[in-house]
């Protein structure tokens, strides 16, 4: 039986005294987490309970008691045991299991780090080294059980998102992870080789183009939550393997999508935050209740740099980057230069949820041209606490325009841009069969989880973040 049933369900009743004839014999299992005198700690998925283990009182006869006494001498911190007995409360009111029977379940050959807590609740010798915690998450979760709550909340975030979409009648689908053409985003892919087919394949950087094929096929709304892979740098907000949600809804545009995102994120936040829309993120209190501020890309740069870049060409943008001390390279076209300026001078100021809208056409090859303003597309990104967590368009459904945009990307690739999009002939063929007006959205699950659990590093919300090879292994390989 889980400890939650006792430590939670009987917490108030623990102020009284429990006797065997009141509760009856109970049994439970978990990790042995240390002993002081006759009192020990047992830990499972839900928490800890105190055990009363007194020599000579475990077992029903002398032979069994002696066997248990020998077994108790062999117990080490981290061992898994099963116990049975009856509940009572100590003089201090702590719920305790008086152990009458004990079973050894599994031995821990490596000692767990011993985290000590004094009477005031202060922690000593904590297992806090980030590299060790990420490499040995199994140890981290055992000795720092409060970290489990981050991943419980992550699971609840995903469940709430699914529930919201399912309530709207949209279909959850699965699309290929191995793709012939890496498309749907500007990113450098991981490449692999399929031996039987003797062909090069790419791990997906996005699932956008396959989901839009399903809109062509007749579904009105499809979404997918899954892993994406990008062969890029790692930092506090980037991991080469990450989880993304993408959704596409027919007969909608990016204005509708902004309203949907506000409603969805407010719903998720309330579901995982005890009905509240405000969460503490570092020193900021973030409110996910809509409506969110809307600011165009050009206006945002003008607001935080004082410069109107709307009419600037590539050469002028390069000069501006020099003036603003922003490093750029020759492979960057107009879109990348604007993106660099925005990233350096604007992003950090966007603390409360803010939509950056109406991007230059060069920045977004898959978005529909703006219905009123030349040179822009109907796109928004949602920024919270200085980071992008969502990206959405009115989707481009003109196959002729889409081909021209892909060809422009090929030109950037020829200049050395490793993140330029590839030309996907099959996707163009799908568009030629006709795709209805559609709006699409991507949300980074990891970054959303960071916000809703008040974590500043993506590694804290991934069970097993990507790490460099352990140094001792590298040294061994070097000697070989």
Q: What is the mean pLDDT of residues 331-342?
A: 93
103 domain residue, yes or no: yes
Asked whether residue 364 falls in the same domain as residue 273, the answer is yes
**Domain end position, chosen among 90, 112, 134:** 112
Asked whether residue 264 falls in the same domain as residue 368, the answer is yes
Beta bridge partners of 81: 30, 104
Q: What percent of the chain has pLDDT above 90?
A: 72
User: In whole angstroms, what is the distance from residue 147 CA to residue 138 CA?
Assistant: 11
266 domain residue, yes or no: yes
Asked whether residue 246 falls in the same domain as residue 390, the answer is yes
> Encoding tokens for residue 196?
């039987």
Asked whether residue 92 falls in the same domain as residue 179, the answer is no
125 domain residue, yes or no: no
393 domain residue, yes or no: yes
Predicted confidence band of residue 265 (pLDDT cuts 50, 70, 90): very high
Q: Check the CA dihedral 291-297-298-302 and report its sign.
A: positive
Label each residue of the chain as H, E or C.
CCCHHHHHCCCHHHHCCCCHHHHCCEEEEEEEEEEECCEEEEEECCEEEEEECCCCCCCCCHHHHHHHHHHHHCCCCCCEEEEEEEEEECCCCCEEEEEEEEEEEECCCCCCCCCEECCCCCEECCCCCHHHHHHCHHHHHHHCHHHHHHHHHHHHHHHHHHHHHHHCCCEECCCCCEECCCCCCCCCCCEEEECCCCEEEEECCCCHHHHHHHHHCCCCEEEEEEEEECCCCCECCECCEEEEEEEEEECCCHHHHHHHHHHHHHHHHHHHCCCCCEEEECCEEEECCCCCEEEEHHHHHHHHHCCCCCCCCHHHHHHHHHHCCCCCCCCCCHHHHHHHHHHHHCHHHCCCCEEEEEEEHHHCCCECECCCCCCEEEEEEEEECCEEEEEEEEECCCHHHHHHHHHHHHHHHHCCCCCCCCCCHHHHHHHHCCCCCEEEEEEEHHHHHHHHHCCCCHHHHCCCCCCCCCHHHHHHHHHC
User: Structural domain of residue 79, as residue ranges?
Assistant: 4-112
Asked whether residue 103 falls in the same domain as residue 158, the answer is no
pLDDT exceeds 60 at position 8 = no
120 domain residue, yes or no: no
427 domain residue, yes or no: yes
Asked whether residue 180 falls in the same domain as residue 107, the answer is no
Asked whether residue 205 falls in the same domain as residue 269, the answer is yes
pLDDT at 18: 45
The packing angle between helices 148-167 and 445-453, to 10°, is 120
pLDDT at 16: 46
pLDDT at 15: 42
Q: What is the model's pTM?
A: 0.89
Asked whether residue 21 falls in the same domain as residue 153, the answer is no
pLDDT at 7: 52
* 63 has binding-site annotation: no
pLDDT tens column, 139-177? 999 999 899 999 999 999 999 999 999 999 999 999 999
> Encoding tokens for residue 426?
């099959």
Q: Are the C-beta atoms of residues 194 and 203 closer than 8 Å to each other?
A: no
Asked whether residue 65 falls in the same domain as residue 180, the answer is no
Q: Are the C-beta atoms of residues 225 and 243 closer than 8 Å to each other?
A: yes
- Which segment of 21-25, 428-432, 468-472 scores lowest on mean pLDDT? 21-25
Choice between 7 and 304, residue whose per-residue pLDDT is larger: 304
Give the chain's domain count: 2
Asked whether residue 77 falls in the same domain as residue 196, the answer is no
pLDDT exceeds 50 at position 11 = no
Residue with tokens 């070097």: 478
pLDDT at 360: 92
141 domain residue, yes or no: no
pLDDT at 2: 53
pLDDT at 29: 96
User: In whole angstroms, what is the distance from residue 41 CA to residue 31 CA?
Assistant: 8
- The upper half-sphere exposure of residue 117, i.e. CA atoms within 13 Å in the direction of its Cβ, equals 8
CATH number for the domain spanning 12: value is: 2.40.50.140
User: In whole angstroms, what is the distance from residue 133 CA to residue 387 CA?
Assistant: 25
Q: What is the mean pLDDT of residues 392-408?
A: 95
pLDDT exceeds 50 at position 19 = no
Q: What is the mean pLDDT of residues 321-333?
A: 92
pLDDT tens column, 113-125? 887 766 676 766 6
> Encoding tokens for residue 335?
């879109």
For the beta sheet containing 199-203, the strands, ordered from the edge strand earlier in sequence to the opposite edge, are 178-179, 199-203, 191-194
CATH number for the domain spanning 272: value is: 3.30.930.10
pLDDT tens column, 66-112? 888 888 888 999 999 999 999 988 888 899 999 988 999 999 999 99
pLDDT exceeds 80 at position 178 = yes
Choice between 479 and 393, residue whose per-residue pLDDT is larger: 393
pLDDT exceeds 70 at position 468 = yes
pLDDT tens column, 200-258? 999 999 999 999 999 999 999 999 999 999 998 899 999 999 999 999 999 999 999 99
pLDDT at 442: 98
Asked whether residue 226 falls in the same domain as residue 282, the answer is yes
> Encoding tokens for residue 102?
């004990």
pLDDT exceeds 90 at position 3 = no
* 381 has binding-site annotation: yes
């Amino acid at each position: 039986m889980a400890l939650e049933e006792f430590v939670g369900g009987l917490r108030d009743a623990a102020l009284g005294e429990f006797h065997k004839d009141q509760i009856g014999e109970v049994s439970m299992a978990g990790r042995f987490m240390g002993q002081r005198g006759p009192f020990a700690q047992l830990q499972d998925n839900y928490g800890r309970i105190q055990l009363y283990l007194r020599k000579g009182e475990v077992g029903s006869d002398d032979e069994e008691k002696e066997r248990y006494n020998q077994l108790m001498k062999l117990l080490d911190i981290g061992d898994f045991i099963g116990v049975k007995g009856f509940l009572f409360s100590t003089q201090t009111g702590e719920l305790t299991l008086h152990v009458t029977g004990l079973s050894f379940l599994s031995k821990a050959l490596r000692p767990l780090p011993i985290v000590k807590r004094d009477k005031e609740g202060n922690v000593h010798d904590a297992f806090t080294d980030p590299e060790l915690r990420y490499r040995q998450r199994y140890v981290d979760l055992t000795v720092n059980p409060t970290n489990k709550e981050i991943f419980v909340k992550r699971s609840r975030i995903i469940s709430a998102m699914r529930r919201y979409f399912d309530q709207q009648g949209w279909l959850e689908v699965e699309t290929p992870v191995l793709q012939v053409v890496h498309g749907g985003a500007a990113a450098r892919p991981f490449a692999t080789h399929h031996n039987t087919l003797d062909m090069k394949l790419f791990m997906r950087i996005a699932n956008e183009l396959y989901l839009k094929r399903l809109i062509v096929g007749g579904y009105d709304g499809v979404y997918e939550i899954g892993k994406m892979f990008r062969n890029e740098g790692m930092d506090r907000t980037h991991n080469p393997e990450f989880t993304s949600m993408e959704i596409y809804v027919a007969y909608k545009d990016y204005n509708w999508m902004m309203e949907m995102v506000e409603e969805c994120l407010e719903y998720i936040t309330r579901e995982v935050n005890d009905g509240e829309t405000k969460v503490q993120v570092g020193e900021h209190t973030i409110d996910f209740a809509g409506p969110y501020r809307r600011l165009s890309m050009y206006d945002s740069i003008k607001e935080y740099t004082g410069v109107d870049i709307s009419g600037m060409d590539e050469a002028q943008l390069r000069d501006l980057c020099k003036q603003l001390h922003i490093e750029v390279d020759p492979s960057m076209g107009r879109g990348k230069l604007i993106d660099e300026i925005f990233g350096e001078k604007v992003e950090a100021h966007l603390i409360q949820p803010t939509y950056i809208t109406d991007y230059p056409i060069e920045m977004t090859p898959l978005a529909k041209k703006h219905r009123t303003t030349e040179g822009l597309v109907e796109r928004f990104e949602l920024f919270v606490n200085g980071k992008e967590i969502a990206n959405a368009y009115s989707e481009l459904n003109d196959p002729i325009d889409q081909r021209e945009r892909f060809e422009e990307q090929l030109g950037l690739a020829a200049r050395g841009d490793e993140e330029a999009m590839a030309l996907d002939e099959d996707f163009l063929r799908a568009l030629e069969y006709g795709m209805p007006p559609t709006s699409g959205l991507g949300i980074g699950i990891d970054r959303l989880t960071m916000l809703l659990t008040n974590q500043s590093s993506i590694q804290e919300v991934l069970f097993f973040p990507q790490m460099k090879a352990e140094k001792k292994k590298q040294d061994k390989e070097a000697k070989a």
